[in-house]
Structure 1
Amino acid sequence: MTENIWNYPTTAGHTVDADVTGYKVEATDGHIGKVDKHSDDVDSQYIVVDTGVWIFGKEVLLPAGTITSVDAEARTIHVSRTKDEIKSAPEFDKEKHLGNAEYHQEIGTHYGSHRAPGTGSTGPTGPGRI
């Protein structure tokens, strides 16, 4: 079965309603920033990462399906994407994000088709899924 990229993987260790704001975010090849915003809405779970000076203050939206683990004790989230994959993502746009299915599809397509080596693939399965 293909998982929805907009939901946390069951193996990530995320607890519903946990406030992950301020957690450090680690890509497969190093630190990328900290969580600025997040959502636990079913089929619309994500984190917004403030990359700080790493990519000149850019904020990026990462679907929860890119998260491999959440370590509450260390206040760290690990994602299954490289720095370059995240750097090349569309910048987070608060206005486009709110209720815009096309924006979510663009983000989902970016992260679904730009996978870190060895992370597998989740081919297309319908609207909102990749």
Structure 2
Amino acid sequence: MNDIWGYGPASRYSSGMDLTGYKVEARDGHVGKVDDATDEVGSAFVVVNCKPWLIGKHVMLPAGTITVVDAGEETIHVNRTKDEIKNAPEYNPELHRDDPTYRSTLGGYYGSHAR
């Protein structure tokens, strides 16, 4: 499950990249833009603002779901569908950003949908 919290070598992510504002594309369409990101070893993630697709909702995506970071297009591609993202455990930035229990639940969810 630790691999889900790290950027894969094929993702073209470089340590220290600022992903804020990048568009996020699921396997079946646009899901939103990055509001927050981290590259902490073993716990890297992006937080996506899903307006207008999911009104008022933010989602946390573990870095392991990212297949490609396209710096030229400022776009991140993830290996999940919009429904998989929509049905993930709900994310509340005030409660869950640094919550290890939430991360464990989220990692289990995305790990069970491994590609």
* Structure with the higher fraction of residues in helix conformation: 2
Question: Contact 2:23–2:75 (CA<8 Å) still a contact in 1?
Answer: yes
2: distance between equivalents of 1:56 and 1:42? 31
Whichever residue aligns with residue 40 of structure 1, its letter is D
Partner of 1:42: 41
Whichever residue aligns with residue 24 of structure 1, its letter is K
Rg larger in structure: 1
| Structure 1: unaligned runs, 5 residues or longer | 120-130
2: distance between equivalents of 1:34 and 1:85? 17
Moved over 4 A (4+): none
Q: TM-score scaled to structure 2, two decimals?
A: 0.93
2: distance between equivalents of 1:108 and 1:80? 14
Number of aligned residue pairs: give it: 115
Question: SS state of the match for residue 112, structure 1?
Answer: helix
Whichever residue aligns with residue 94 of structure 1, its letter is P
| Structure 2: unaligned runs, 5 residues or longer | none
Q: TM-score scaled to structure 1, two decimals?
A: 0.83
Deviation at residue 104 of structure 1 after TM alignment: 0.4
Q: CA RMSD in A?
A: 1.4
1: distance between equivalents of 2:99 and 2:57? 20
